[in-house]
Amino acid sequence: MTQKQRLGTKVDARSGAYEILQRVEEGGYADLLLDSWLNRHPGFDSRERGLLTELVYGVLRLRGRLDFALAPLCKQHLTRLEPGALRLLRLGAYQLLQLDRIPPHAAVHATVDLARRVGLDRVSGLINGVLRSLERERETINWPTPETPRPYLQHVCSLPVWLAKELMRQLSNVEALAFGAALATAAPYTLRVNSLKTDRDSYLAMLEQAGHTARPTLYAPEGVIIEQRGEGRLPGDEEGLYQVQDEASMLMAHLLGAKAGEALLDGCAAPGGKSTHLAALTDNQSRIVALDKHQHRVELIRNGASRLGCTRIEPCLWDLTETPDFVEPESLDRILLDAPCSGLGVLRRNPESRWNRTSADIAELAELQKILLARVALLLKPGGHLLYSVCTFTSRETDEVVDNFLSTHPGFVLENLQESVPELWQELLTKRGTLRSYPHRHDGMDAFFAARFKKGA
C-alpha cells in the first residue's frame, strides 16, 4: 500500500508537510517540493497553505532546537528511531513549541492521528507518550543561554556544530549570537517591483487596495516587503509587475553599475532575478547574455524574462568551468558573477542546506569560484567592470577568493564601492570597499558579499 493510499482522501497541512519532509530527507529541495505539492492541490484552503509552509520550513529551520527538546524524553537516541517516527515527533514538537495558535492537545492528537494515516500505527504510542511529556515539560526545558555561545547557537539557534564554530570564528560572540538568532527566524517575503512596467509607489498602492500590508525596503529602491498577506493573490503576477527577490540580491545589479547600450554577461544567471533586474536598470537597452549549465534552469531564465518584459536577455546553456566559445574575448563591458556558493547567507530560505552542507564543501566551492572568476575575466574589455557576489559569509568564499583573484590577475584592481554607492549603503561596506550584508544588522535582508574589480586599460 502506498503512502497516498494510506492517507486516503484526507489531505491537510500535516500530511502534506510529512510527505515533503520525507522527500527532503531523500535529497529534494523544500521550495521546489512545496511548490509542486501545492500545484497538485490547487483547491487547498489558504489557511492550510499557510500552515503547510510554516511546518515545512519551520521543522527544517529549527530541527536542532526540536531535537534538543525531544532527546531527553526518548528512551533511545533520536538517530536510532525509524525516520518516519522522528519526522512525526519533529512535526508535533514544532507545533507545541512554536505555534501558540494550535492548542497543545490538538497538536498531540493530530500528530498521533497522522502516524496512523501514514501507516506507522506501531509508533503511535511512542508519539503520544513523548509529545504529551513535551507538552507537560516545555516550560521547564533547560535551554542553553547566550553565556555559553556555542551550545546556544547549536541548540537554540539550530545550527550544526561546524557552522556554529564558523560563525564564532568570523564574528564576535555578540554578533555571532545575533546572526544565529536571525537565521532561526523566517525570512521576509520581499518583492522587486519591475520598473519596466510600473513603479514602487504605484505597486504599493495596488497592494493596499488588494488587502495586503507592505512597506518599502530600506536600501533597494525597487524593493517591497510584504508584512501581511491578504486573502487574494498579489496583484500583477501574470502581468509581470514584480519578481520575488531578497533585498540583498537586488543590490547586486545596482553595484554592477551597468549603462544602457553596454554588453553584459550574467555568468551564473538562473533563475534570472539579477539578469531581469539588469534589463530593467538599462531599460532593455543592453544585450545581456545569461548563462546556466542546466537546461531546465535556462528555461527558468527565459520564462522569467518573457513574463517581466525583458527583451534583450539571451539565455544560454553553458558550464562556465569552460570559457564560452560563443563570446569573444575582451568583448564585454560588465560582468556579474553571482557564483555557486555554500548559501549560508540564505539558510532561512533554504533551511535544508544547514543540514546538508559540511565544512568540507566550503573549500571545494571556493576552488570552483576561483575557476569561474578566471574564466569570465578573459571576456572583459580593458576598462570593464566585474562584480563577484555570493550569498554567504565565509572568509574562504569571500575575501580569500578576492585575494586569490588579485594575485593571479595583476591586470585587475579591487574597486572601493564607497566611492559609488548611496550614502545609506555606506553602512553595508567594509573598510576595503566590499559589501557585506547581514540579516541582524540590515533590516532583515539576507547575508551577501560583493566585490567589484576593474580591468586595466
Q: Which residues pair with 413 in a beta bridge?
A: 454
Determine the Cα–Cα distance for residues 162 and 63; give it in Å rounded to an integer: 15
Q: Pull the grid cell for residue 254.
A: 545596482
- Nearest Cα neighbor of 193 from 273, 262, 257 is 273
Reply yes or no on whether 268 is catalytic. Answer: no
Q: Give CA separation, 17 vs 27, 48, 50, 85, 363, in Å.
A: 15, 11, 11, 14, 34
Determine the Cα–Cα distance for residues 23 and 327; give it in Å rounded to an integer: 40
The DSSP call for residue 233 is P
- Asked if 310 and 243 touch (Cβ cutoff 8 Å), the reply is no
* SS3 assignment, position 215: strand
Given 74, 157, 268, 391, the catalytic residue: 391
**Chain position carrying cell 575575466:** 377
Q: Which residues pair with 265 in a beta bridge?
A: 289, 335
* Helix runs in 266-413, H state only: 273-281, 295-308, 353-356, 359-377, 399-408
Determine the Cα–Cα distance for residues 256 and 249; give it in Å rounded to an integer: 12
What is the identity of the amino acid at 317? L
Determine the Cα–Cα distance for residues 191 and 312; give it in Å rounded to an integer: 22
Determine the Cα–Cα distance for residues 264 and 288; give it in Å rounded to an integer: 5
- Asked if 301 and 270 touch (Cβ cutoff 8 Å), the reply is yes
Determine the Cα–Cα distance for residues 186 and 373; give it in Å rounded to an integer: 32
* Helix runs in 413-454, H state only: none
How much of the chain is helix, strand and coil, in % rounded to 5? 50, 15, 35
Contacts 24+ apart (CB under 8 A), 401-404: 401/366, 401/369, 401/370, 401/373, 402/434, 402/451, 404/370
- Nearest Cα neighbor of 176 from 393, 450, 347, 432 is 393
Determine the Cα–Cα distance for residues 305 and 203; give it in Å rounded to an integer: 20
Mention every residue, 6+ apart, whose C-beta is less than 8 A from residue 427.
Answer: 441, 442
* SS3 assignment, position 12: coil
Mention every residue, 6+ apart, whose C-beta is less than 8 A from residue 199.
Answer: 193
Catalytic residue numbers, as ranges: 391
